[in-house]
Structure 1
Amino acid sequence: MFAIFQKEINAFFSSLTAYIVMAVFLTAVGLLMWVFPDTNLLNYGYADLTSFFNLTPFVLLFLVPAVTMRSLAEEFRNGTIELLLTKPLSDWHLVIGKFLADWVLIILTLAPTILYYITVYQLGSPVGNVDSGAVFGSYIGLVLLAAVFVAVGLWASSLSDNQIVAFVLGVFISFLLFAGIGAVAKLDFWGSLSYPISWISLDQQYADLGRGLVDSRNVIYLVSVTVLFLWLTQGQVHRKRK
């Protein structure tokens, strides 16, 4: 597993992939946070990172599948998956190794945004007048949400040897889980079922963590969804082994 993780991380940083991912993410979020007038944090008049945490998941919806689309699809297309599977390496080692490498890259991409919190902390009146608990909970939510998106992206990558197909599937399924379920739950005919349906949507879990109280139920749910898609990915890899 560590060998796969190391191989993937080295592949990211020995090419332009990691640097492009980080540059695209930080540029997109930076423009939204500090330049575009409709979302400019400086125009709010108070120290708050709500706009950052509301916008970032939608950037990750596209960024994460762009990272994961090659993870398994490229192995299938080039035929290197057969070589990997002939080694003393279990399906789970392969899947977990690739998952951790992709997830770590996304976490490293998110890390520089801590500067936004420091900036807002200093801009507060008085200094430090910011809800640090909510920021902490939101970052935990972002990291766990990224894990779900990576797991979904890996599964999508395992379904096809075409990277574009893997990207489109990853974006669609991630969007469905994050925003689609919540939108469906708001339809009037659900009645009393509206709340339980909305609770299983990723955006509701993420919003709950962003309130500053890290509830173990939200964490367990997001981890469970991640494990589910990793299990589905392992199933696809196992079929290739036969």
Structure 2
Amino acid sequence: MIGIVFKREFASFFATPVAYVFITIFLILSGIFTFFIGGLYERGQADLLPFFNFHPWLYLFLVPAIAMRSWSEERKNGSIELLMTLPITSFEAMMGKFFAAWAVLALSLMLTFPLWLTVNYLGNPDNGIILAAYVGSWLMSGAFLAIGMCMSALTKNQVIAFILAIVVCFLFVVSGSNIVLDAFKGWAPSVVLDTIASFSFLTHFESMSKGVIALNNVVYFLIVASLWLYGGLLIIEQKKAD
């Protein structure tokens, strides 16, 4: 049944301008950040670090935008009642929606392959590192997406779901930044600093963007996605009971 929901949701993204607009904006902003802000040519190095360094900040706004409709739209249109009358469980509906949106994110990443071709034309990059960074970026996008879907399950209003997702995702992004950690230095023990930093998407994605796919980083993103999806599932179950 997850496959049925997946096909329905994935098709719905392309039946409306949602997927096309998202992919277009993602590709344009990726190019701007890579070439104009990241200075790909000026660095004189054949790698895609300028491209991947901005992914957490791109996802911070773009992923909540694609996730906000997942449940809010269903509840607003009343189609969630129809969905729940079908012979599928809430878990199957949640996972089908999640995998469909995650597939759109994967497609968006794959369409950036001209950047990969560009650095291979300009030099001899370590393609293993680039591939690892792509995998890390996709895993991180799944964590962003799960948070956005949980927030979407909370409210019928897509704008509210969008704002809530940005706020929560922002906290996960900046928790490991120097600005946040500096506020705790001097009075908090190192174990507290390490704990705060361990929640940051930046901390875990940074090493993956440099080609290190450590098991703890992969597990981290999968656990974050699973917990937020479970939270969204609990909310949906509660709405069904009301």
TM-score (norm 1): 0.93
- Cα offset, 1:3, TM superposition: 1.6
- Cα offset, 1:218, TM superposition: 1.0
Residues 128 and 211 in structure 2, CA contact (< 8 A), matched pair in contact too: yes
Task: Give the structure 2 partner of residue 190 of structure 1.
Answer: 188
Task: Give the structure 2 partner of residue 75 of structure 1.
Answer: 74
24-33 or 96-105, larger mean C-alpha shift = 24-33
Task: Give the structure 1 partner of residue 112 of structure 2.
Answer: 113
Task: Give the structure 1 partner of residue 152 of structure 2.
Answer: 157
Q: Deviations over 1:134-173 (max 9, x none)?
A: 2222111101001001100100100110000001111111
Q: Any unmatched runs of 5+ in structure 1?
A: none
The whole-number CA distance in structure 2 between the counterparts of 1:117 and 1:228 is: 33
Map residues 230-241 of structure 1 onto 2, 5 A cutoff: 230-241=229-240
Residue type matched to 1:157 in 2?
S
The whole-number CA distance in structure 1 between the counterparts of 2:84 and 2:206 is: 40
Map residues 1-242 of structure 1 onto 2, 5 A cutoff: 1-34=2-35, 36=36, 38-124=37-123, 128=124, 130-182=125-177, 183-187=179-183, 188=185, 189-193=187-191, 194-242=193-241
- Cα offset, 1:132, TM superposition: 2.5
Residues 132 and 209 in structure 2, CA contact (< 8 A), matched pair in contact too: yes
Residues 67 and 152 in structure 2, CA contact (< 8 A), matched pair in contact too: yes
Residue type matched to 1:159 in 2?
L
* SS of equivalent residue, structure 1 residue 104: helix
The whole-number CA distance in structure 1 between the counterparts of 2:72 and 2:176 is: 27
- Cα offset, 1:32, TM superposition: 2.1
In structure 2, do the counterparts of structure 1 residues 211 and 28 end up closer, same or farther at CA, with 3 Å as the change threshold? closer
Residue type matched to 1:41 in 2?
L
The whole-number CA distance in structure 2 between the counterparts of 1:45 and 1:99 is: 39
In structure 2, do the counterparts of structure 1 residues 15 and 107 end up closer, same or farther at CA, with 3 Å as the change threshold? same
Residue type matched to 1:9 in 2?
F
Q: Any unmatched runs of 5+ in structure 2?
A: none
Residue type matched to 1:233 in 2?
G
- Cα offset, 1:180, TM superposition: 3.1
The whole-number CA distance in structure 2 between the counterparts of 1:147 and 1:210 is: 16
**In percent, how many aligned pairs have the same letter?**
33
- Cα offset, 1:190, TM superposition: 2.4
The whole-number CA distance in structure 2 between the counterparts of 1:186 and 1:132 is: 35
Residue type matched to 1:184 in 2?
V
Q: Deviations over 1:53-108 (max 9, x none)?
A: 11122111111111010110011111111111111110100100100011100110
Residue type matched to 1:171 in 2?
I
- Counting matched residue pairs gives 236
The whole-number CA distance in structure 2 between the counterparts of 1:33 and 1:197 is: 29
Residues 133 and 213 in structure 1, CA contact (< 8 A), matched pair in contact too: no
Residues 64 and 146 in structure 1, CA contact (< 8 A), matched pair in contact too: yes
* SS of equivalent residue, structure 1 residue 161: coil
- Cα offset, 1:208, TM superposition: 2.0
Quote the RMSD (CA, aligned, Å). 1.4
- Cα offset, 1:122, TM superposition: 1.5
The whole-number CA distance in structure 2 between the counterparts of 1:59 and 1:209 is: 17
